[in-house]
Structure 1
Amino acid sequence: MVDGAVPTPRIAALAGLIWASGTLPQFDPEIPWSSAVITRAQQLERGNWGVGAVGDAVTRTMNAIIASAVIVAMSVRPRG
C-alpha cells in the first residue's frame, strides 16, 4: 500500500478485508498512515476482490453485536 505496487489478489483481498474491519493499522504500526496510504487501503476495500461484500458483512456483524450488547445491557436490571 505504501509504494502503490499491485498486490496479488489474495493480498489485496486480505488487506481490503482487514481495512474494512477497521483493524489494519494494528497489524503494522510502522506503516506511515498518510492520506495516500489510506486512499490505497480504501481502493483495495472497494476493489474487484469481493471485499466490498465482505466489508458490508463485517459492518452488519459489528452492528448486530453492538445492538445485542445494548439489548442485554438494557434488560439486565441491577438488584437493589
Structure 2
Amino acid sequence: MADVRGALVDGAEPRPPFAALAALLSASGTPPQVDREIPWSSPVITRAKELEQGNWGAEAAADAVARTTTAIIVNYVIIAAAILPRA
C-alpha cells in the first residue's frame, strides 16, 4: 500500500500494478475503508480518478498474461524433458 499511497498522496509515478490497484480502489467507491492512512481529500480523489481513467489496467493485465504464458511454457518444457525417453 506504500506504493499506492505514494502515487495518490505524493503524486509519484506508479508502476503499472500499483496504478491499476489505485484505479481499482477508486472505481470501487470504498477507498477510505481499504486504507485509513490515505487522506481521501479532493486532491487525492482527483489523482485516483486520473489513474482510473488511464490505461494502467491494460498494461498490468498484459504483463500478467505475459508472465502466465511464460510460466506455462516453462512448465511444459520441464514436463516434456521429464517424460521423453532419453536416446
TM over 0.5: yes
| Max Rg structure | 2
Distance in structure 1 (CA, Å) of the matches to 2:57 and 2:14? 15
Q: Root-mean-square deviation (CA), in Å?
A: 1.4
Mind listing any 5+ residue stretches in structure 2 that lack a counterpart?
A: 1-7, 59-87
Q: Which digits, 9 at most, give the CA deviation of each residue in 1:8-57, with x for residues without a partner?
A: 10000111012101122111112112111010000011011137xxxxxx
Mind listing any 5+ residue stretches in structure 1 that lack a counterpart?
A: 52-80
TM-score, length-scaled by structure 1: 0.57
Higher helix share: 2
Aligned to 1:71: none
Amino acid of the residue matched to residue 16 of structure 1?
Answer: A
Residue 30 in structure 1 maps to residue 37 in structure 2: yes
Dislocated runs of 4+, deviation >6 Å:
none
**Percent pairwise identity:** 69
Distance in structure 2 (CA, Å) of the matches to 1:47 and 1:6? 12
Distance in structure 1 (CA, Å) of the matches to 2:44 and 2:51? 11
TM-score, length-scaled by structure 2: 0.53
Following superposition of structure 1 onto structure 2, how do residues 1-80 of structure 1 map, counting pairs within 5 Å? 1-50=8-57
